[in-house]
Amino acid sequence: IEYYNNLINELLANNIQPMVTLYHWDLPQALQDIGGWQNDKIIEYFNDYARLCFSSFGDRVKLWITFNEAFVVAWLGYGIGVFAPGVSSADTGAYEVAHNIIRSHTRAYRTYETSFKTLQQGQVGITLDCDWKEPQTYSTTSRYAAERALQFKLGWFANPIFGNGDYPSVMKRKVADKSRRQGYPKSRLPEFTPEEIQQNRGAFDFLGLNHYTTNLVREEIRDINWHSYESDQDIDTSEDPCWNTTESGWLRVNPWGIRRLLKWIKDRYGNPPVYVTENGVSDKGEMMDYSRARYYSLYINEVLKAVRRDGCDVRGYMAWALMDNMEWTSGYSQKFGLYYVDFNDPKRPRTAKHSASVYSKIVADNGFGYV
């Protein structure tokens, strides 16, 4: 608590408004030992933790994010197990985890709403990650597949909170049908109670959006014997070979995707306030990182179009990342930073790259004066 008090105070002293994320994937081992996010007891533990943070820092912190990239926790952490805690439960694990994360978010939001908001006047949201899903062809099946992909990825978490309080109807229908045909006694997708649906609905002050790239989507009916969140969608994704590549195999440059995603969010969820909490690109670590400078210029311009032409309520934009850092399973091999970090020097000196000067100019001009 002392560390974060000092950090928050120093940020404010430098005219930097803190936006605090409560959970970015670091779960105490003691909680994982009892099942982690698969155990619904964690809802109460998370609420206690959130309450402690609100009471300790809420006099200075006015923007709270409960979870960063809930999808990653559920699917990569408990579905296919490539991220911590490394649980492989593709049939039910990811769905159970997502269910408890949503309930935990809602519980923490309502705690702030009833016990802290009047005095502290802060806001609480959740950050969700989503690539834009573009139909691979103009066919009806591809268009439906792309919409289904968005509902299974973003709608999985967004619809309960920003929509009607429940999972997307297409998701409920698809998972229930697959589960029945696979011999399960009930759907592998958990159900919210009527009371939980009511509590979920509107449990937000803003949406945090992490976005990097676009996928092409077409329908592909998967083998019924494949019991997985992935196969439940009956889709196949790919990338356009014409889109520029990066150091991350999953990330190709396609600026217009972020505008279409923001417009989709506006149309589906009544234009909630949105902060773009992550957007960026990887390279080999060049100091003259022209590709990154171009990426930011193009993507920010598309966000501007979403605001000016589409009427999207975008409240802020944050570049990922301030400096080169550990990119999870990729380690230090992929560089996202505006600042170069010399990891061979014990002092870890930071040096501004070309993109830092370009981005600072965009910020100074509020995104409008730099070409």
Question: Are 216 and 134 within 8 A, CB to CB?
Answer: yes
For the question of residue 278 being annotated catalytic, the response is: yes
Q: Which residues pair with 274 in a beta bridge?
A: 207, 314
Could you count the other beta carbons within 10 Å of the beta carbon of residue 10? 11
Identity of the residue numbered 118: T
CB 42 within 8 A of CB 100: yes
CB count within 10 Å of CB 324 equals 22
Q: Of 98, 139, 142, whose CA–CA distance to 237 is shortest?
A: 142
Which of the following is catalytic: 113, 278, 286, 302? 278
The whole-angstrom separation of Cα 40 and Cα 99 is 9
Beta strand extents in the chain (DSSP E only): 19-23, 63-68, 123-129, 132-135, 206-210, 214-219, 235-238, 274-278, 314-317, 339-341, 350-352
- What lies within 8 Å, CB to CB, of 186 at 6+ separation is 179
Dist CA 221 CA 227 (whole Å) = 13
Which residue in the block uniquely carries the two structure tokens 């404010």?
12
Nearest to 72 by CA among 152, 129, 30: 129
Measured CA distances, 243 to 215, 284, 304, 355 (Å):
11, 18, 21, 21
Catalytic residues: 278
